[in-house]
Amino acid sequence: MNFDDTPEEAAFRATARAWLDAHAPKELEAELKMSGFGGMTLKSVDPMAASKAWQAKKKAAGWACLHWPKDYGGRGATPIERVIWGQEEGVFGVLSGTFTIGHGMCGPTLMAWATEEQKRELLPPMASGEHIWCQLFSEPAGGSDLAGLRTRAEKATDGSGDWIINGQKIWTSGAQHSDYGILITRTDSDVPKHKGLTMFFLSMKSPGVEIRPIKQANGQSGFNEVYFTDVRIPDAQRLGAVGNGWQVSLTTLMNERLSIGSGMPTGFPELFDYCMNLQTEDGPAIDDRSVRSRLATYAVRASGLKYTGMRAISALSRGETPGPENSIGKLVAGASMQELAMFALDLQGQAGVVSDPAQAEAGARFQAMLMRSPATRVEGGTDEILRNIIAERVLGLPGDIRVDKDVAFKDIPTRGRG
């Protein structure tokens, strides 16, 4: 049992570190380290320009999309090399946030379902950051129940073979910056919901695409609504067969779960530091027994996540697929962050309400954490969906009874009351 690199891993790490030492944008390091809950907070430079510049530099030197094949702009690296790169890139990886959905989900979906010609055309500029991609899946009527989506794709009546899209997507991260998107639609309402879906990719500049930012509960706007009004997509941009969209979407969503070892933040190190420094009438807050008990609870969760990640990385290092234990990450981290934020504010007493970073404790980071954390428990699989996944795929318990399974989509009820 050890945390040591194999000789091959050590050599790869040294190569990565040497390149990063020579090329990383060190002038942004301090600012990137301050990036907290709710996204990147670069002020000295334009965040998008800085992100694209760093991505292009990595691509030119063969350090972009490590897990992709070389032919498509990647490095053909092993999973463990990808993890090592992430460890070495460290805080500079924050600059890649803009590209995560493209590189992690859209790219692999194209690799599995697009034509060779499309892959050679679309993937290299995605790898270099020249093109940003988004994923158009969730809808107002289809969140956890993704297959309940209602955006329609119908064959154009002009005989061109094109598809005409009408409907609405929601929670689309980065749509406002995106050049392309992958889009799942309903092409048949007369069959059960999973069977009538079809996947496309499209230019986000297509006529009839309208993007509106969503003002979130915490006041920020990281997500969008995307409206489609008679948007025309050539049939050549279909991914997979008509009616096969559910299978194609699974390729995308499986890749969503492959980001291993990235370590979901829990906020524990920040809370521990805060409790060390917070002075009460009886001394530092950390001397209070009730504070210590709470801190210990969060400490063992943060540690458990860290070492669960180490176990997954070890499996990768052996060339194996990590076990199901990795599925607990977001479930534990999301809930912890929310509880921990509420606890930090409680320690601040009435002053805990203050959210002005200039006046609030700890630069208002716990207030920001409080206001962002509800989203963590919903996005990318709600806590409840994640528990279902653990129960069904890990523990082998029965799936939910699906009352809409054999019902034509058009006959599924849409309102609970009248």
Partner 1 sequence: MNFDFSDEQKQLRDEARRFLTDRCSPAAVRAILEGPEPFDRGLWKGLAEMGFLGAAIPEEYGGVGLGHLELCVIAEELGRVVAPVPMASSIYLAAEFLMAAGTEEQKSRWLPKLASGETIGCFAWSEGVGRVTPKSIRTAVNGGTISGTKAPVADGDVAGLAIVAARSGTGTGENAISLYLVDLIGAGVSVEAIDTIDPTRSQSRIVFDGAPAELLGLAGEGWAIASQVMDRAAVLVAFEQVGGSDRALEMGRDYALDRMAFGRQIGSFQAVKHMLADMYVAATLARSNAYYGAWALSTGSSELPVAAATARVSATDAFQHCAKNNIQVHGGMGFTWAFDCHLYYRRANALALGLGSKSTWEDLLIDRLRQRNDAPAAA
- Chain residues that interact with partner 1, rule: CB under 8 A: 1-6, 9, 272-273, 276, 286, 289, 292-293, 295-297, 299-301, 303-308, 310-311, 313-315, 317-318, 325, 328, 331-332, 384, 386-388, 390-392, 394-401
Length of the chain, in residues? 418
Please state whether 73 falls in left (phi above 0), alpha (psi between -120 and 50) or beta. left
Q: Measure CA 292 to chain center.
A: 33
Least separation in angstroms between CB 66 and partner 1? 17
Conformation bin of residue 232: beta by default, left when phi > 0, alpha when psi is -120 to 50: beta
Q: Which is nearer to partner 1, 206 or 297 (CB)?
A: 297
Q: How far is the CB of 377 from partner 1 (least distance, A)?
A: 14
Indicate the residue among 232 and 292 with the shorter CB distance to partner 1: 292
Closer residue to partner 1 (CB): 182 or 332: 332
Pairing assessment for the beta strands 283-284 and 180-186 based on DSSP bridges: unpaired
Nearer to partner 1, 227 or 272 (CB): 272
Q: Which lies closer to partner 1 via its Cβ, residue 33 or residue 311?
A: 311
Contact (Cβ atoms closer than 8 angstroms) between residue 240 and residue 199: yes
Question: Minimum distance from CB of 299 to partner 1 (Å)?
Answer: 6
Closest approach of partner 1 to the CB of residue 170, in Å: 25
Closer of 175 and 328 to partner 1 (Cβ): 328
Dmax over CA atoms of the chain, in Å, equals 80
| CA distances (Å), origin 55, targets 30, 58, 92, 235, 297 | 19, 5, 10, 31, 39
How are beta strands 180-186 and 209-213 bridged, if at all?
unpaired
Cβ atoms of 46 and 86 closer than 8 Å: no
Least Å distance between CB 412 and partner 1? 20
* Helix (H), strand (E) at residue 294: helix 289-317
Closest approach, Cβ 279 to partner 1, in A, equals: 15
**CA gap 199, 249 in Å, rounded:** 8
At its nearest, how many Å lie between partner 1 and the CB of residue 379? 19
| Residues 59, 128 contacting (CB under 8 angstroms) | yes
The CA distance from 166 to 186, in Å, is: 10
> How far is the C-alpha of 243 from the C-alpha of 333, rounded, in Å?
36
**Nearer Cβ to partner 1 (43/289):** 289
- Smallest distance from partner 1 to CB 264, Å: 13
**DSSP per residue, 208-256:** TEEEEEPPPTTS----EEEEEEEEEE-GGGEES-TT-HHHHHHHHHHHH
Q: Which is nearer to partner 1, 178 or 266 (CB)?
A: 266
Looking at the Cβ atoms of 60 and 276, the one nearer to partner 1 is 276
Closer Cβ to partner 1, 113 or 343, answer by number: 343
Strands 180-186 and 133-136: parallel
Least Å distance, CB 400 to partner 1, is 7
- Shortest gap between Cβ of 288 and partner 1 (angstroms)? 10
